[in-house]
Amino acid sequence: MKEHAYRNLKLCSKDCLCLFVCPTGAADNETGQIDFETCIGCGACARACPSHAITMIPNKMPPQKKKEPEVIKALSHLLREKVEIIRYLKNLLDKTEIEEEKRLYKTFIHSERVMAEDLAREAGYMLPQSSNTHELLLKLKNNKEKEEEIEKLLEKLEVNDKEEVRV
Ligand code: SF4
Ligand code: SF4
Protein backbone atom coordinates (compact mmCIF):
# COMPACT_ATOMS: atom_id res chain seq x y z
CA MET A 1 0.00 0.00 0.00
CA LYS A 2 1.37 3.40 -0.98
CA GLU A 3 2.17 5.69 1.90
CA HIS A 4 3.24 9.23 2.60
CA ALA A 5 4.92 10.87 5.57
CA TYR A 6 3.13 13.03 8.09
CA ARG A 7 4.98 15.22 10.60
CA ASN A 8 3.55 15.86 14.06
CA LEU A 9 4.76 19.41 14.64
CA LYS A 10 4.19 19.17 18.39
CA LEU A 11 6.83 16.44 18.65
CA CYS A 12 9.28 17.90 16.15
CA SER A 13 12.46 19.26 17.74
CA LYS A 14 13.57 20.96 14.48
CA ASP A 15 16.92 19.18 14.19
CA CYS A 16 16.32 18.78 10.42
CA LEU A 17 17.57 15.18 10.15
CA CYS A 18 14.54 14.36 8.00
CA LEU A 19 15.47 17.13 5.58
CA PHE A 20 18.97 15.64 5.33
CA VAL A 21 17.80 12.12 4.45
CA CYS A 22 14.82 12.98 2.24
CA PRO A 23 15.65 12.14 -1.40
CA THR A 24 13.00 14.43 -2.91
CA GLY A 25 12.98 17.51 -0.72
CA ALA A 26 9.41 16.77 0.36
CA ALA A 27 10.38 17.10 4.03
CA ASP A 28 11.61 20.65 3.45
CA ASN A 29 8.37 22.51 3.10
CA GLU A 30 7.58 26.08 4.11
CA THR A 31 4.33 25.04 5.79
CA GLY A 32 6.25 22.82 8.23
CA GLN A 33 4.27 19.85 6.96
CA ILE A 34 5.67 17.30 4.53
CA ASP A 35 4.69 17.93 0.92
CA PHE A 36 2.23 15.24 -0.11
CA GLU A 37 2.81 15.76 -3.84
CA THR A 38 6.58 15.17 -3.79
CA CYS A 39 6.78 12.58 -0.99
CA ILE A 40 7.46 9.13 -2.49
CA GLY A 41 6.77 7.30 0.77
CA CYS A 42 10.27 5.83 1.19
CA GLY A 43 10.07 6.21 5.00
CA ALA A 44 13.67 7.45 5.37
CA CYS A 45 12.54 10.50 7.34
CA ALA A 46 10.46 8.44 9.78
CA ARG A 47 13.41 6.12 10.42
CA ALA A 48 15.80 9.03 10.92
CA CYS A 49 13.60 11.12 13.19
CA PRO A 50 14.86 10.90 16.80
CA SER A 51 11.64 12.39 18.17
CA HIS A 52 9.26 9.91 16.50
CA ALA A 53 7.53 12.92 15.02
CA ILE A 54 6.98 11.36 11.61
CA THR A 55 4.37 8.74 10.86
CA MET A 56 3.86 6.94 7.57
CA ILE A 57 0.19 6.91 6.64
CA PRO A 58 -1.55 5.25 3.68
CA ASN A 59 -2.38 7.47 0.71
CA LYS A 60 -5.85 6.01 0.63
CA MET A 61 -7.84 5.16 3.70
CA PRO A 62 -8.65 1.45 3.97
CA PRO A 63 -12.31 0.42 3.79
CA GLN A 64 -14.14 0.34 7.06
CA LYS A 65 -14.13 -3.07 8.70
CA LYS A 66 -17.57 -4.65 8.43
CA LYS A 67 -19.53 -5.05 11.66
CA GLU A 68 -22.03 -7.70 12.61
CA PRO A 69 -25.67 -6.53 12.30
CA GLU A 70 -26.25 -7.07 16.04
CA VAL A 71 -23.31 -4.80 16.86
CA ILE A 72 -24.61 -2.10 14.51
CA LYS A 73 -28.05 -2.43 16.06
CA ALA A 74 -26.69 -2.03 19.60
CA LEU A 75 -24.53 0.96 18.60
CA SER A 76 -27.44 2.61 16.80
CA HIS A 77 -29.59 2.12 19.90
CA LEU A 78 -26.94 3.78 22.08
CA LEU A 79 -26.65 6.58 19.53
CA ARG A 80 -30.39 7.25 19.64
CA GLU A 81 -30.20 7.41 23.43
CA LYS A 82 -27.38 9.96 23.23
CA VAL A 83 -29.44 12.09 20.85
CA GLU A 84 -32.33 12.03 23.33
CA ILE A 85 -30.04 13.04 26.20
CA ILE A 86 -28.64 15.93 24.15
CA ARG A 87 -32.17 17.09 23.32
CA TYR A 88 -33.10 16.97 27.01
CA LEU A 89 -29.98 18.89 28.07
CA LYS A 90 -30.61 21.54 25.39
CA ASN A 91 -34.08 21.99 26.74
CA LEU A 92 -32.70 22.52 30.27
CA LEU A 93 -30.11 24.93 28.89
CA ASP A 94 -32.79 27.01 27.18
CA LYS A 95 -34.80 27.26 30.38
CA THR A 96 -32.13 28.29 32.87
CA GLU A 97 -30.92 31.83 33.53
CA ILE A 98 -28.21 30.75 36.00
CA GLU A 99 -24.72 31.07 34.49
CA GLU A 100 -23.20 28.11 36.37
CA GLU A 101 -26.01 25.85 35.23
CA LYS A 102 -25.58 27.05 31.66
CA ARG A 103 -21.88 26.19 31.79
CA LEU A 104 -22.64 22.80 33.27
CA TYR A 105 -25.26 21.94 30.63
CA LYS A 106 -22.98 23.10 27.83
CA THR A 107 -20.21 20.85 29.14
CA PHE A 108 -22.56 17.87 29.35
CA ILE A 109 -23.86 18.54 25.84
CA HIS A 110 -20.33 18.70 24.51
CA SER A 111 -19.36 15.45 26.21
CA GLU A 112 -22.51 13.65 25.02
CA ARG A 113 -21.93 14.91 21.48
CA VAL A 114 -18.35 13.60 21.43
CA MET A 115 -19.59 10.20 22.58
CA ALA A 116 -22.44 10.29 20.04
CA GLU A 117 -19.95 11.03 17.26
CA ASP A 118 -17.81 8.07 18.32
CA LEU A 119 -20.86 5.81 18.35
CA ALA A 120 -21.94 7.09 14.92
CA ARG A 121 -18.50 6.36 13.52
CA GLU A 122 -18.41 2.91 15.07
CA ALA A 123 -21.91 2.16 13.75
CA GLY A 124 -20.66 2.89 10.25
CA TYR A 125 -21.77 6.47 9.74
CA MET A 126 -19.85 9.68 9.19
CA LEU A 127 -16.73 8.15 7.68
CA PRO A 128 -15.97 10.40 4.70
CA GLN A 129 -15.10 7.43 2.50
CA SER A 130 -18.26 5.44 3.33
CA SER A 131 -21.08 4.86 0.90
CA ASN A 132 -23.61 6.24 3.38
CA THR A 133 -21.75 9.57 3.42
CA HIS A 134 -21.83 9.48 -0.38
CA GLU A 135 -25.56 8.88 -0.35
CA LEU A 136 -26.11 11.71 2.11
CA LEU A 137 -24.11 14.13 -0.05
CA LEU A 138 -26.14 13.13 -3.11
CA LYS A 139 -29.32 13.94 -1.22
CA LEU A 140 -27.95 17.28 -0.01
CA LYS A 141 -27.03 18.21 -3.56
CA ASN A 142 -30.63 19.29 -4.10
CA ASN A 143 -29.84 22.28 -1.91
CA LYS A 144 -29.04 24.90 -4.59
CA GLU A 145 -27.03 27.14 -2.23
CA LYS A 146 -24.56 24.35 -1.36
CA GLU A 147 -24.51 22.55 -4.69
CA GLU A 148 -21.01 23.66 -5.66
CA GLU A 149 -19.39 22.71 -2.32
CA ILE A 150 -21.14 19.35 -2.30
CA GLU A 151 -20.04 18.69 -5.87
CA LYS A 152 -16.41 19.29 -4.79
CA LEU A 153 -16.76 16.93 -1.83
CA LEU A 154 -18.25 14.24 -4.04
CA GLU A 155 -15.29 14.55 -6.39
CA LYS A 156 -12.74 14.41 -3.57
CA LEU A 157 -14.18 11.66 -1.40
CA GLU A 158 -13.56 8.38 -3.08
CA VAL A 159 -16.01 5.76 -1.84
CA ASN A 160 -14.07 2.65 -0.88
CA ASP A 161 -16.90 0.32 -0.03
CA LYS A 162 -18.50 0.62 -3.48
CA GLU A 163 -20.33 -2.68 -3.44
CA GLU A 164 -22.61 -1.21 -0.78
CA VAL A 165 -23.56 1.95 -2.71
CA ARG A 166 -27.24 1.74 -3.39
CA VAL A 167 -27.64 4.85 -5.57
S1 SF4 B 1 8.90 9.46 3.10
FE2 SF4 B 1 10.78 9.72 1.89
S3 SF4 B 1 10.17 11.17 0.30
FE4 SF4 B 1 8.61 11.29 1.87
S5 SF4 B 1 9.27 12.97 3.14
FE6 SF4 B 1 10.07 11.10 4.06
S7 SF4 B 1 12.12 10.88 3.23
FE8 SF4 B 1 11.05 12.37 1.95
S1 SF4 C 1 13.87 14.55 12.02
FE2 SF4 C 1 12.00 14.63 13.28
S3 SF4 C 1 12.49 16.06 14.93
FE4 SF4 C 1 14.00 16.38 13.30
S5 SF4 C 1 13.15 18.03 12.05
FE6 SF4 C 1 12.50 16.09 11.13
S7 SF4 C 1 10.50 15.71 12.06
FE8 SF4 C 1 11.48 17.25 13.30
135/152 same-domain check: yes
- Ligand 1 contact, 53 CB (< 6 A): no
- Ligand 1 contact, 45 CB (< 6 A): yes
54/98 same-domain check: no
Q: Residue 7 forms beta bridges with which residues? A: 54
The answer as to whether 63 is a domain residue is: no
pLDDT at residue 107 above 90? yes
The answer as to whether 42 is a domain residue is: yes
The answer as to whether 36 is a domain residue is: yes
Closest ligand 1 atom to the C-alpha of 18? 7
The answer as to whether 29 is a domain residue is: yes
The answer as to whether 117 is a domain residue is: yes
Q: Domain with 7 in it: what CATH number?
A: 3.30.70.20
Residue 132 pLDDT: 77
Average pLDDT for 105-134: 85
- What is the domain extent for residue 25? 3-58
Question: How many structural domains comprise the chain?
Answer: 3
Domain boundary among 12, 35, 58: 58
- Ligand 1 contact, 40 CB (< 6 A): yes
Average pLDDT for 43-50: 97
- The answer to whether the predicted template modeling score (pTM) of the entire model surpasses 0.75 is no
Q: Specify the range with the lowest mean pLDDT, choosing from 4-13, 35-44, 72-81, 134-143.
A: 134-143
Q: Tell the residue nearest (CA) to atom 8 of ligand 1.
A: 22
- Ligand 1 contact, 43 CB (< 6 A): yes
Cα distance between residue 58 and residue 1, in whole Å: 7
7/54 same-domain check: yes
The answer as to whether 144 is a domain residue is: yes
The answer as to whether 91 is a domain residue is: yes
Confidence band for 138, pLDDT divided at 50, 70 and 90: confident
The answer as to whether 64 is a domain residue is: no
Cα distance between residue 78 and residue 82, in whole Å: 6
pLDDT at residue 163 above 60? no
